[in-house]
Amino acid sequence: MKTALAFWRRSEVFASTSAHVLHRPDQINWIHVAIKMGLSLILAGNLLAPFAARAQNLGTSPQFGQAVQGQQATTVEGTVLNIVNWGCNVIAPVIAVACLGIAGWHFKSGRGYMGWGVSGVALMVISGLGRMAEGFITQAQGIQ
């Protein structure tokens, strides 16, 4: 005869009954419902977007410093180029300056500043490497 596992058996000591009762609200929180619906639509869009994307033909030569030949900046390639440029030329330096400012404030206050300082310097390095790569790409000669 097999015995049931320990968590299937009834315990010797019974738990006391709880007086906690969950009550449903009388009215629907429409803001909460709208936020859930919006987040659901964003999730569905992110899951379905790869199916809607179409490949672009670059032709025989790469296109640098502009959107793909025959395409606009609203295409996937133009969008990626704009995001990289925006991230390396605007976002990373602004956040880096903010991090370095917070590091200075923490240093002045006698608190830990090293994490903020390292983050700021790392963001400046990322920005510089991105701008350096962009310069190499736009000034590169065709390899034969």
DSSP 14: P
Q: Supply the mean pLDDT for the chain.
A: 75
**Cα separation of 104 and 93, whole Å?**
16
Query: Coil, strand, or helix at residue 28?
Result: coil
Task: Name the residue type at position 109.
Answer: S
Mean pLDDT score, 58-68 = 54
- Residue 17: which pLDDT band, with cuts at 50, 70 and 90? low
Q: Which pLDDT score is estimated for 104?
A: 94
Backbone dihedral region for residue 7 (phi beyond 0: left; psi -120 to 50: alpha; all else: beta): alpha
pTM to 2 decimals?
Answer: 0.45
Q: Which pLDDT score, from 0 to 100, does residue 69 have?
A: 46
